[in-house]
Amino acid sequence: MKFSQSFIPTLREVPGDAVIASHRLMFRAGLIRKLSNGLFAYLPLGLRSFRKVENIIREEMNAIGSLEIKPTVIVPGELWKESGRWDSMGEALLRLKNRLGADFVVSPTAEEAFTNIVRDELNSYRQLPLSLYQINTKYRDEVRPRYGVMRGREFVMKDAYSFHANDASLDQHYQAQGRAYRNIFKRCGLTVIPVRADSGAMGGSGSEEFMVESDIGDNTLLFCKSCDYAANIEKAECKLDYSPRFTPALAQAAASNTPPVEKIDTPEVKTIEELCTFLKTDAKNFIKTLIYKAVNVELDLSTAPGCKNLVKHKNAPSAPEVYNEAFFAVLIRGDLDVNEAKLAAALKAAEVSLAEDADVLRITGAPVGFAGPVGLNTVPIVMDQTVSAMNDAVTGALEKDKHFRHVAYIRDFSAWLSADIRTVKAGDRCPICGGELYEKKGNELGHIFKLGKKYSVSMGVSYLDENGKSNVPTMGCYGIGLDRTLASIIEEHHDEQGIIWPVSVAPYHVIIIPVKYQGEVQAASDKLKAELEKSGVEVLLDDRDERPGVKFNDADLIGIPFRIVVGDKNLANGMVEVKRRSEKENRLVSFGTAAAELTREVNAAINSV
Amino acid sequence: MKFSQSFIPTLREVPGDAVIASHRLMFRAGLIRKLSNGLFAYLPLGLRSFRKVENIIREEMNAIGSLEIKPTVIVPGELWKESGRWDSMGEALLRLKNRLGADFVVSPTAEEAFTNIVRDELNSYRQLPLSLYQINTKYRDEVRPRYGVMRGREFVMKDAYSFHANDASLDQHYQAQGRAYRNIFKRCGLTVIPVRADSGAMGGSGSEEFMVESDIGDNTLLFCKSCDYAANIEKAECKLDYSPRFTPALAQAAASNTPPVEKIDTPEVKTIEELCTFLKTDAKNFIKTLIYKAVNVELDLSTAPGCKNLVKHKNAPSAPEVYNEAFFAVLIRGDLDVNEAKLAAALKAAEVSLAEDADVLRITGAPVGFAGPVGLNTVPIVMDQTVSAMNDAVTGALEKDKHFRHVAYIRDFSAWLSADIRTVKAGDRCPICGGELYEKKGNELGHIFKLGKKYSVSMGVSYLDENGKSNVPTMGCYGIGLDRTLASIIEEHHDEQGIIWPVSVAPYHVIIIPVKYQGEVQAASDKLKAELEKSGVEVLLDDRDERPGVKFNDADLIGIPFRIVVGDKNLANGMVEVKRRSEKENRLVSFGTAAAELTREVNAAINSV
């Protein structure tokens, strides 16, 4: 391709809203242009790299036997109602009505579409396992799209869905997907951090996120200084910094020397800090009690305190039965914070959020700030397991300006559910080796997880097993964001001058810069281009009538891995100048062997991963 | 690929709504499945052929220097408001609002997005010509989606847009696109009929549609029995079957012997037929007068009768000025019909439709059925050129139950605009050679046309020409529907048993059928597959434990071009059986040379077009 015949509008200026390197460089190098907030057009150079990422993903999916299909981008709302996600997904789901009044969604993921296709075709266990994928347009109605294609509204995702007769088969494919993901990122030149992740709204357990470190990452990750433990804060665990008392007997024994509960006046005391100062105690001795509202709760609450009037409903004919709304008192040690993702998982709830003031008053009989477990029977008590180790603790007294002290677990209150719901943070201890944990921000590029039977049950998928019995398949789900992956490659591979593409995903492998595109230099440049292209090397020839400095700067900006400068003087000696974008030094190469040499180097670079 | 490891759910039954061969066969062969009305998922086999069509199109676009980009599918409504199409497009445009209340459309075409991108980057004439394309998801909110992917709601289109400094440059690229389209369809094995077409809502002139004949086609085409004239009925012309009198003097002369106009009673006479019987005359002597309402009229009406109160408006800041609504009296010879597409083009209107009864009464002073040009001055008169040849004619008298006879053009009325607005029909004479025209139904697969400056003016695109003067580029626009193209290939290439894929777009080139996939036969089949794949031939190996008859039927149904049957008996003699799907007879080929022989045949078939 000749530069003048392509469309590569490079820029000196940086758009004002481009705060990260990939966003700046994708604009400046003419890879993308903005159509609107969160909506970007890939220009020819950007699209070439995009397609290379796409092809790497396709090759790795095909290699593990996943089959490519192409459902639609606009998907019938009916399918989302069947799965229950029409209701459970928030406003990020872009819903629309057509002229006949039918509901549709612009796909953000495609569990429903794939499950629907398989449901109609699946009869026998002999058809399993079955793994299908698409590489297709997706939409998330982000309120604040930012950072260019890193967090856009429309994007392209590879999403695969697998169907299995048993957990062993699911696990086998899940592992194969994990290996494929590692290959994909390696071939793209990316350093990814695989972390255990909360599977969030997707449901199911057993999941791995593939993260890249990023200052502007959506996710907080915890790493161990001593071992290779890495986890998303939404699921991170830590070594216990206390001795839990998991049996009532142990708790009772611990309470044997604790004075009886005493109600104390705590006027004008609003925060835990103030309370600690007032009582000359430590936050670790305070049982923080928070009232939470949970939405679409699957957990059985039929025996839970205060829940006897709650009734489970189906939000859709084949959706699981849920309580649309339930309240809980959540206890945690005063120096810790509740991890809402863990809490939602423990409650099998779609979402949890702090209750409104009015609900707190109704439930605790007191304004916000005086909740406590002693005597509370209007809602179920959910306790972080740290609380089991507390004794002689301070809590709210369900009364304005009053607290209890000398509170002991089991003796004075008990919990309906005990779970790990604490937020792990930097400085906590690694759950594996006890080393110190530290935090980094990360962006998720890919996510694989075991969905289980959430969709196959709600959408009624079944097959006949070896014994002719009807059975429900278990599912896995595996996504990669292409736009983010591309942007992350640039984040990892750039310098002040521009992008430094890994050869595998570079828009062109070689850029030929004739110092002046005329006469012998032109002829030599054309010949080199023809020779390289004949041997499968992708060449951009900068035939523009620009000063060499402009061409060099643009070559550095757009980041083509190999640069060949063809100039009068060197050519007179039968030489051209070759430089790798990633290296400082250039070298002289014989014009006669330059094409063969660069072909070898390009192929070696691609095949080295 | 082994059959058992793919996902090819073939069916015996035909879905009830599948009335055309391609729809039936795409379902039965497991190429597609329906997600909802007009929304289809491509399964692995269908997607492979789809991608081959896509690649053929991509290769031909790249070959003429068009550059691939990828704008979004969801496009800001603002751009459509700028171009004016937010208002002028009907309900087939799927509009939506996001959670922040911003307007978006699901792209049906992308003039706005491409023009927007180029507008921001175009500075100098040196950047022109510029041709860009995408192959991307589109949506048309069809009220009655039918015929499978032939008329679906979501589909994939290649749409290219070119920008030029002058008409000669536009014409050059337009011709190149035309040649590329002919190559594309030829390589896909399609017989297309290039026809001149009305450019409809797209505006501009100079356009060519690529049609395939189809009983269920959307378009009516007219062909000449004697020459190669072919035209869409919306634009078809015919040889004049009268002597037009284009000058007032000629018309005056013709009227010199015509008796003066006479008003006659015509009670209970409603139709032209009744009037002809009543007056014992022929429909050809009757001037049919229809009142039309036109929307968004660009034509200057400042001097037209009855229009002095009309004011032009801009529907968007940079949109062209239009009259939002205007009425016209349209005259045509009584035996002919008005072609509304031609009428809209003559008026430069977005749309025309017959006026409501109340408007007819207001404009003509009489109920529907008595309109006529004599004495009519409330609206401009638009006359089909046939009327200029009429003399001593009958018309409505602008009064209930009254007609005029002996009406003569010029002497008794004149027209504000004369144009060819008649509907040409079977039996009319070819405008080229005078031969008889006949009709066929056709489906449009592709359309190329010269847009002119409609979008570049309305959206404010400009560049500096050689003299440093600001100038507006002229544009062309070139579309192909991929899904329709694929379905049309099947329409043209099938028999009772199934699809007969052209080799260039077949999902696999060769299907190997082991009579029983075990022992020597299995080993030989695997070896053949490996050899063929090594030489670049795409192979499907039917390894299923099914009766040979089932495998043969499926092979015929899915239409793989070459079939190799590996059986015990032939293999004992060192032979396998080879059959082309398109031929009746099979032949025995030596097992040792079968791979080489089929590789040659496959490559020969692909390269022959």
pLDDT tens digits for range B386-427: 998 888 999 999 999 999 999 999 999 999 999 999 999 999
What would the mean pLDDT of B86-103 be, rounded to a whole number?
88
A474 CA: distance to closest CA in chain B (Å): 18
Closest partner CB to B41 (pick from A5, A41, A113): A113
Give pLDDT, residue A160: 98
Q: Say which of A44, A71, A121 has its CB closest to residue B9.
A: A121
Q: If you average pLDDT over residues B93-101, what whole number do you get?
A: 92
Residue A260 has pLDDT above 80, yes or no: yes
CB of B161 within 8 Å of a chain A CB? The answer is no
Q: Cβ separation of B113 and A36 shorter than 8 Å?
A: no
pLDDT for position A299: 93
Nearest-CB residue to A68 (from B47, B99, B141)? B47
Q: A103 with A135: CB under 8 angstroms?
A: no
User: What pLDDT does residue B448 have?
Assistant: 95
Q: Quick one: pLDDT at residue A417?
A: 94
Residue A50 at interface with chain B, using a CB cutoff of 8 Å: yes
- Torsion from C-alpha of A482, A486, A489, A491, nearest 10 degrees: -110
pLDDT at A245 over 80: no
How much is the mean pLDDT over chain B?
93
Highest mean pLDDT among A314-323, A383-392, B266-275, B534-543: B534-543
The overall average pLDDT reported for chain A is: 93
B98:A96 CB<8 A: no
Q: Do B117 and A43 touch (CB under 8 A)?
A: yes
Q: What is the pTM of this model?
A: 0.88
pLDDT band at A350 (very low <50, low <70, confident <90, very high): confident
Which run of H or E residues covers position A33? strand A32-36
The Cα–Cα gap between B242 and B250 comes to 14
Dist CA B300 CA B249 (whole Å): 26
Position A573 scores a pLDDT of: 97
Q: How confident is the model at residue B14 (pLDDT cuts 50, 70, 90)?
A: confident
Mean pLDDT within B207-214 = 92
Cβ of B78 within 8 Å of Cβ of A36? The answer is yes
Output the DSSP codes for B358-416. HHHHHHHSS-TT---STT--SS-EEEEGGGGG--SEEEE-SSTTEEEEEE-BTTTB--S
Q: What is the mean pLDDT of residues B163-180?
A: 96
Element of type H or E holding A557: helix A548-558
Residues in chain B within 8 Å Cβ distance of A91: 99
- Strand residue runs (E) in A193-316: 193-196, 207-213, 219-224, 230-232, 262-265, 287-297, 313-314
pLDDT > 70: percent of chain B = 98
pLDDT tens sequence across A90-125: 888 999 999 899 999 999 999 999 999 999 999 999
B273 pLDDT band (50/70/90 cuts)? Answer: confident
A:B CB pairs within 8 Å? 138
| Pair of tokens at residue A461 | 């998928």
Distance from CA of A154 to the nearest CA of B (A): 7
Least confident of A244-248, B360-364, B444-448: A244-248
Q: How far A42 CA lies from chain B's nearest CA (Å)?
A: 5
Cβ-nearest to A41 among B91, B106, B117:
B117
What does the pLDDT look like over A537-586, one tens digit per residue?
A: 999 999 999 999 999 999 999 999 999 999 999 999 999 999 999 999 99
With beta carbons less than 8 A apart as the criterion, state whether B423 and B231 touch.
no
Chain A residues 63-82 within an 8 A CB cutoff of chain B: 65, 67-76, 78-79
Q: What value does the CA radius of gyration of chain A take, rounded to a whole number of Å?
A: 30
Asked if residues B504 and B56 have their Cβ atoms less than 8 Å apart, the reply is yes
Restricting to A residues 289-348, those with a Cβ less than 8 Å away from any Cβ of B are: none
Distance CA B531, CA B592 (A): 10
**pLDDT, tens only, A470-521:** 999 999 999 999 999 999 999 999 999 999 999 999 999 999 999 999 999 9
Q: What pLDDT, on a 0 to 100 scale, did the predictor assign at position B338? A: 96
Higher local confidence (pLDDT), A608 or A530: A530
Q: Is the pLDDT confidence value at A392 over 60?
A: yes
Partner residue facing B43 (CB), from A69, A72, A98? A69
Q: What is the ipTM of this complex?
A: 0.88
pLDDT digits (tens, 9 = 90+) for A588-599: 999 999 999 999
Nearest CA in chain B to A112: B35
Q: What would the 3-class secondary structure string for B573-600 be? A: CCEEEEEECCCCCEEEEEHHHHHHHHHH
Per the CB < 8 A criterion, the answer to whether B455 and B111 are in contact is yes
HEC per residue, A132-193: EEEEEEEECCCCCCECHHHECCEEEEEEEEEEECCHHHHHHHHHHHHHHHHHHHHHCCCCCE
pLDDT (0 to 100) of residue A203: 41
pLDDT digits (tens, 9 = 90+) for B285-296: 999 999 999 998
pLDDT at residue B253, rounded to an integer:
84
CB-count exposure of residue B12 (10 Å: 0-12, 13-18, 19+): exposed
- Picking from B35, B138, B155 by the largest number of A CB atoms within 10 A of its own CB, the best residue to mutate is B35
Beta-bridge mates of residue A3: none
Q: Is the pLDDT of residue A244 over 80?
A: no
pLDDT higher than threshold 60 for residue B32:
yes
Interfacial B residues in 93-132 facing A (CB < 8 Å): 94, 96, 98-100, 102, 106, 113, 116-117, 120-121, 130, 132
Nearest Cβ partner of A33 from B74, B94, B120? B120
Identify all chain A residues contacting B50, using CB atoms and an 8 Å cutoff.
Answer: 70
CA distance to A498, A577, A583, B394, per residue, from A495 (Å): 5, 22, 11, 84
Q: Is pLDDT of B317 > 70?
A: no
Closest CA to A61 of A191, A170, A162: A162
- B449-505 pLDDT, tens per residue? 999 998 999 899 999 999 999 999 999 999 999 999 999 999 999 999 999 999 999
Question: Tell me, what's the pLDDT at A252?
Answer: 84
CA distances from B75 to A30, A154, B71, B107, B176 (A): 20, 10, 8, 6, 29
Distance between CA atoms of B418 and A480, rounded to whole angstroms? Answer: 62
pLDDT at A488: 97
What tens digit of pLDDT does each residue of B331-390 get? 999 999 999 999 999 999 988 999 999 999 999 999 999 999 999 999 999 999 999 888
Q: Which of A348-362, B140-154, B192-206, B571-585 has the lowest mean pLDDT?
A: B192-206
- Please give the share of chain B, as a percent, with pLDDT higher than 90: 80
B71 CB neighbours in chain A (<8 A) are: 35, 41-42
- Backbone torsions φ then ψ of A178, nearest 5 degrees: -60, -45
